[in-house]
Amino acid sequence: ANPHEINEQIGKEGFVFESDFLKVRKFIYLDEVLVGKILIEYSLKTLHEKNRNIILVIGSVILFAFVIAYVITLKLSKIISGPIIALSSLTERVSETDDFSLRGEHRASDEIGALYKAFNNLLAQIQSHRIELQKTHQQLLHFEKLSATGKLAASLAHELRNPVCGIKNVLEILYERGSLSEPHKKHLLMAIMESQRVENLINNLKDFNRPSTEKREHVDLKSVINEVLPMMQNRIERRNIKLNLNYAANTSRVYFVPDQLKQVILNLLSNAEEAIAEDHENGKITITTERIDSNVVLQVKDNGSGISEENVDEIFQPFFSTKTELKELGLGLGLSIVYEIVENHGGKIYAKSKAGEGTVFEVVIPESRGE
């Protein structure tokens, strides 16, 4: 090329980007006289390719970071919101079923775990209060029933006591002073015993649900049992029932109204004797006393007919009786009176029984701390 064309290609001094090239122009002067021009061209394809690769890598890294962030966000969302949703579902189930025994399960010891623990504690407290409320309601119904039946019992006792006592007195005089043969005396004695049983029923009616005006005393349980046994001795011996006494050496005193403690023991023994059938050849009643912790325990056990499971919870209700034959029927107040007396003295009474295998009554009374 001629110098003019070269000058045109070089152009002005400086640098310029053209297409995929970087062109640098530099003029050379000698004593301020232009003596030459230099043109350097550098291809930018490699640089552009590197830039594209860098952009691609950066884009991939950013996209990967977004994907990881999204996955982590979903995971955290499940970790945080999952237990909350489960707790919300549990709340709905409790509300729908009215079942406060349900519990939430979250084993982690984080804030969500603390929330679950607090919620479970709340359910437990509500469940406990509900159980106590139900017990209180049942006790209230029981006391209302006792109050109503007590008024009826007192009225009946007043009307029946005088004629029955009169009949009994006449029978006793006739037995002691009358000239009767042995068979007649035997029948008369049976009539006296039955009249005594009726009188006892009347006394139960009179005393039922009546507040005691007697004072409590520190009494020895073993001594009171020994005082009551002669009252039942004739009935037990007449029926050839074996009586076993198991007195624990460490049995302590109880703070009780003496006559009411006698009534408890007498009613339990009478109930045990009546539970043994007349034709039972090996009738047996066992009385056991022991001290457990700060309580004195009296147990009366018989091997009689027993009580069906569905009736065990009802036997302390007034006028409830498991007897079916007319000659065995009573008023069904004996065990109700025992229950009321024991409860009024801060004790508890439990019954364990199975039809055909006998019954065990267990009376738990706080130990006396006095002299």
- Average pLDDT per block of 10 residues along the chain, 371 residues long: 53 74 82 80 82 91 93 81 80 85 76 82 88 83 68 70 81 80 79 74 64 78 90 84 88 84 90 84 91 91 87 77 50 79 91 88 86 57
Q: Phi/psi class of residue 209: alpha, beta or left (left: φ > 0; alpha: ψ in -120 to 50)?
A: left
Cα distances (Å, whole numbers) of residue 272 to 173, 176, 264, 344? 31, 30, 12, 23
Question: What residue numbers bound the domain in which 24 lies?
Answer: 3-43
243 and 285 in contact (C-beta within 8 Å)? yes
Residue 106 resides in a domain:
no
Instruction: Return the exposure string of 272-311: e unless at least 16 CB atoms fall within 10 Å of the residue's CB, then b.
Output: bbbbbeeebeebbbbbbbbeeeebbbbbbbbbbbbbeeeb
Residue 127 resides in a domain:
no
Residue-level pLDDT at 237: 85
Residue-level pLDDT at 328: 45
The H-or-E segment that residue 240 falls in is none
Query: What CATH number has the domain bearing residue 353?
Result: 3.30.565.10
Domains contained in the chain, number: 2
Interatomic CA distance for residues 323 and 285, integer angstroms? 19
Cα distances (Å, whole numbers) of residue 82 to 25, 58, 85? 69, 35, 5
Residue 259 resides in a domain:
yes
Residue 357 resides in a domain:
yes
